Structure 1
Amino acid sequence: MCDDGLMTSPTHRAIALLSLFSVAQCWSGAALADRLGVSPRTIRRDVNRLRDMGFPIEAEQGPEGGYRLRTGGDHYLAVLDDAQSVSVAVALLQAAAGAPVTSTADSLRAIETLRHLLPSSVLSSVKSVHAASGTVDVGWNVPPDTRLIAELAAACNRKVRVRFRYCDSRGRVSSRDVEPLRILTTGNAWYCVSFDLNRQALRSFRLDRITELTVTTFRAERRDLPDPVRYLQQNLTETPRWPVWARVRYLAPLEMIVGEVPRLYGSCRSAEDGTTEVTAGAEDWDALAGHLALIAIKLGVTMQPISPPEFSDALVRIGRRITSFGAP
């Protein structure tokens, strides 16, 4: 039985019902009421609400009867247009990436339900996004361009080359010809892991930095390449990709510090004396000094800069700035 507090919301119940229909097409009213922790009368109201939204749910009488979600034919979820359907698939993938295990399962089942309800013209795009996408456990917040995701996902599945303009983290713009392999999300940002034809190497590209995408008809070659998910994980968490880096020591145990340093920005290790050393990067010295100092202030611990001198200078600037706030 589901949590009573959660299931008081009609929206949550509607999502839960769709999730259950992806597990089994036919459910008795009593079984649905038991699973959602509500009365059979509430189930009838929720089913009617889904019908009003365009979901083809039928009621079958008799001992083997119940509610059945009809699939196939000309019946599909008419309240979503093509772009909205792809957006829903993208949103569910993001939910699966960043949610607890139970919500992840619901999101993936909801994707499966959509696949049974959409017309073939839209279903191909949703299937393409789902098949070519995956998740990586690091994060920040960059809204996805669902049209770009759909086009790159289609290129991945068709195994064709693409070209685009790309702006790197330092603002340099270049033209890229690549063979896209996978579309991956950290839960908050999207990347395309591709074989770069100009550099003859695997590369990852943030989708919000891609413009002027052209999908070609040239077939991608068969190559023996590393796993795209593992490559991106290492690229985001191990490669010194920020313009400035610093090392500091916190006079606190590792378990106290590690949750405060996102893996996208740096790494932590426990020193022999029980303190924690952090290596972290950022776009500039003042931003890095502010972020690392804030950890010490938040936790009430001492931070000692190790290297380089530019970081120590930035700490002094930040300190003076904070002190000036209290000046008359």
Structure 2
Amino acid sequence: MSTSARMLRLLSLLQTHRFWSGGDLAGRLEVSERTLRRDVERLRDLGYDVDAVRGAAGGYQLRAGGAMAPLLLEEDEAVAVAVGLRAAAGGGVPGFEDTTLQALTKVIALMPPRLRRRMAALQTQTEGMAWSGGPVLDPAVLTTLAQACRDDEIVSFAYTAADGSGTTRRVEPHRLVNLGRRWYLAAWDRDRGDWRSFRVDRIAEPPATSGQRFRPREIPGGDAAAYVSRGLRNRPRQHRVVVELAVPAATAESAVGRWAEVTALGADRCRMTMDTDTLDWPVLVLAGLDCDFTVAEPAELSELLGRLGARFVGASR
């Protein structure tokens, strides 16, 4: 490995800001500890603040806030960045399509020629159908809430409920939770004195941070994603769907994930129970399972399947 390549590799390792022992770094770079010390000095000469601790437990760490190269990624890291941005640009997060496309273009421009060609190929030779049906998010709202969660800072915002009524909320934000196509804020509502979850796309105007800090509370169950999921499951839904399936319970669980409850009725039969506001989702699940089934409830699902079945049979003729 050339000296320049080794220096870039060393800088990439230090970029994680973790503490590296001299032996670990020397081993990663396949050099002696004496050579490592010289490389660290070269980085310091270039303006990088690398702290060193001497002795048996000694090692190196890049000082927090130290200047970094404009972009320094391993080859697989660069591909991961391109894939993530490409997916977001295709509508993975509604409202971020243009922003992520601009970011992807900038990332590609900063890459060395060889990686730039690979990433450009990934961008130009990949196609996909944009997601639909998800609510549009405001990037400024999402980032403001994320920073308030990180800094334990009280935030206020206008909120539109599912029935269209508007309220002003003042909360202690805990975590942002992404479930499917929607984002939620789990937070302690200071006016109501209880935990609440808020759809981020229903925050009607940019949230305002107060500059006032709070002492973080323990969310029920200790898991923000589980708390939001429980709230969604417990919310009254328009339809209770109960279907008996001629497949093992594990097969049905892999298809519906956390969106339904599956109970084994034997080695090759199970019952799927789902609360939903639309019958489109259970229809898609049943079609994807490709098995015999019996609808126990609701009658509306049986009627919908009958209409769809007749339509498909007619088309096949």
- Whole-angstrom distance in 2 between the partners of 1:228 and 1:145: 29
Q: Which SS does the other structure have where 1:75 is aligned?
A: coil
8 Å contact 2:10–2:29 — kept in the other structure?
A: no
Tell whether the 8 Å contact from 2:154 to 2:214 is kept in structure 1 after alignment: no
- Taking the aligned partners of 1:16 and 1:303, their CA distance within structure 2 comes to 59
Partner AA of 2:12 in structure 1: L
Aligned partner (choices 243, 251, 259) of residue 246 of structure 2: 251
SS in 2 for 1:262: helix
2:315 alignment partner in structure 1: 325
The two structures have a TM-score, normalised by structure 2, of 0.55
Query: Cα deviations across residues 146-177 of structure 1 (Å, max 9, x unaligned)?
Result: 43233223333554433323345x46252231
Tell me, what secondary structure is at the counterpart of 1:212? coil
Instruction: Specify the SS of the correspondent of 1:252.
Output: coil
Q: Which amino acid aligns with 1:305?
A: V
- Higher-Rg structure is 2
The corresponding residue for 1:128 is none
| Identity value in percent | 19
Q: Which runs of 5+ in 2 are unaligned?
A: 1-7, 50-62, 73-80, 86-132
Say which of 44, 51, 62 aligns to 2:35: 62
Q: Which residue of 1 aligns with 2:260?
A: 266
Q: Within 5 A, what are the aligned runs for 1:58-97?
A: 62=35, 64-66=37-39, 70-71=48-49, 72=63, 75-78=67-70
Higher relative contact order (CA 8 A, sep 6+): 1
Q: What residue number does 2:303 align with? A: 313
1:293 maps to 2:286: yes
2:204 to 192, 211, 217: 211
- Contact kept, 8 Å, 1:166 with 1:211, in 2: the verdict is yes
Q: Confirm or deny that 1:18 pairs with 2:8.
A: no
Q: What is the aligned length?
A: 230
CA contact (8 A) 1:163 1:175 kept: no
Alpha-carbon RMSD across the aligned residues, in angstroms, is 4.4
Question: Residues 183 and 190 of structure 1 are in contact (CA less than 8 Å); yes or no, is this contact kept in structure 2?
Answer: no
Tell me the distance in 2 between the aligned counterparts of 1:171 and 1:15.
Answer: 55
State the partner residue of 1:136.
none
1:253 to partner: Cα distance: 1.2
Residues 53-105 of structure 1 deviation map (CA, whole Å, 9 limit, x = unaligned):
xxxxxxx973644465834576245569xxxxxxx9xx79xxxxxxxxxxxxx
The within-5 A match list for 1:125-204 is 145-168=138-161, 170=162, 172-186=164-178, 189-204=182-197
In the superposition, the TM-score normalised over structure 1's length comes to 0.54
Where 1:62 maps in the other structure, the secondary structure is helix
In the alignment, the residues of structure 1 paired with residue 244 and residue 11 of structure 2 have an alpha-carbon distance, to the nearest angstrom, of 51
- Counterpart CA distance in 2 for 1:318 and 1:32 is 61
Q: Does 1:284 align with 2:260?
A: no
